[in-house]
Amino acid sequence: MNKKVAVIVAGSWGTALASVLADNDIDVVLWSRREEQVKEINDHHTNEHFLPGAKLPERIVATTSLEDAVKDAVAVLLVVPSSGMREVTRKLQPYIKPDMLIIHATKGFEAESLKRMTQVISEELPQIDSKKIVVLSGPSHAEEVILHNPTTVVVASEDMNSAEDAQDLFINSYFRVYTNPDVIGVEVAGALKNIIALGAGLSDGLGFGDNAKAALMTRGIAEIARLGAEMGASPLTFAGLSGVGDLIVTCTSVHSRNWRAGSMLAKGLPLESVLHDMGMVVEGVKTTKAAATLAAEYNVTMPITTELYAVLFNNKPPKQAVEALMGRVRTNELEEVAQQDKTDWIH
């Protein structure tokens, strides 16, 4: 008998990941709360709003019933935007068995609590040992995965067996999956890169050029790693696929909703209309708010996040934000390292 995996929700990323699983001969049940979307997937094998032009494998069956979706599944893949993760996992709770592997592919924090997604999932699914929870992240736009373009991701879990079980489910000739033990690092990296992508979109939209974007990306990963390390992540994770890898793809790809939102803001469009017109989730906006609070809580300097916060929520003109970044007090590129060990400078 084929393995069954439930994929909870049929947005762009959930649908693309469902297709990877179906290509691996897994029976996939894809859940959506919208009846008409379920009908479209079952009748036409398409999901036009989220993946225009894509033909989905017929092995994917859609349903509006959470109970039917997860019944007899070996694994449940949660791809709900961060804002809906708690609500959806709470509804799922009665149907989840302790032996199920729970994988999530969401990039963001819970806005109110600032919790990571694995923390939210653990709280809402008390029958699941935290060792059975896995995060999947990395440079992977749904629009390219659905075309079978070569893609690499990481799966992280506190238990290597769970990470390897997730790796087995997804890995194939076009989707290469690496394991990683650093759950905190992979979640923090995946969430925070969206802030820098918004900034890169703004920078490109304002015509600041490639030097500026390279600076944003490089100094961006420095501040992401700084906060991540304080939150308990391994600094090395930020040099990997879920760190610099995802930062590169999100800051440079036209597929990125965060980058596109930034470039629309640069044209002077109000934030609300940018988010409305996108028609898909732009996680970086809420994440900028969350990261600004986390930076204060952990006493970490995050200059790019601070300036982006001012642009998004305090109407600071982007040009002034750039001036503020360029005019910061002069410093050493490897601030923390230099502070820890100044001996090289003395000799």
| Residues of this chain that bind ligand 13P (CB under 6 A) | 107, 139-141, 194, 197, 246, 249-250, 255-258, 283
Handedness of CA 128, 60, 82, 254 (dihedral sign): positive
Instruction: Pick the closer one to ligand NAI by CB: 154 or 310.
Output: 154
**Site residues (vs ligand NAI, CB under 6 A):** 9-14, 33, 50, 79-82, 84, 87-88, 105-108, 140-142, 280-281, 283
Question: Does the annotation list 22 as a binding residue?
Answer: no
3-state SS, 292-344, equals HHHHHHHCCCCHHHHHHHHHHHCCCCHHHHHHHHHCCCCCCCCHHHHHHCCHH
Q: Which does 74 bind (CB under 5 to 8 A by kind): ligand NAI, ligand 13P, none?
A: none
Sheet containing strand 133-137, strands side by side: 60-63, 27-31, 4-8, 75-78, 101-104, 133-137, 151-156, 175-180
Instruction: Pick the closer one to ligand 13P by CB: 21 or 282.
Output: 282
Which contacts qualify for 316-324: CB closer than 8 Å, 24 or more apart? 318/202, 318/206, 318/265, 318/266, 319/206, 322/203, 322/206, 322/208, 322/212
Instruction: Pick the closer one to ligand 13P by CB: 32 or 194.
Output: 194
Question: Does the annotation list 345 as a binding residue?
Answer: no
Active site residue 193: yes
Residue 105 CB, shortest distance to ligand NAI, in Å, is: 6
Residue 138 CB, shortest distance to ligand 13P, in Å, is: 7
CA distances from 150 to 15, 143, 176, 208, 259 (A): 17, 12, 8, 31, 22
Q: In whole angstroms, give the CA distance from residue 271 to residue 263.
A: 11
Question: Does the annotation list 13 as a binding residue?
Answer: yes
Residue 248 CB, shortest distance to ligand 13P, in Å, is: 10
Question: Does the annotation list 86 as a binding residue?
Answer: no
Q: Which does 235 bind (CB under 5 to 8 A by kind): ligand NAI, ligand 13P, none?
A: none
Residue 78 CB, shortest distance to ligand 13P, in Å, is: 15
* Catalytic residue numbers, as ranges: 193
Annotated binding site: 12-13, 33-34, 107, 138, 140, 142, 193, 246, 256-258, 281, 283
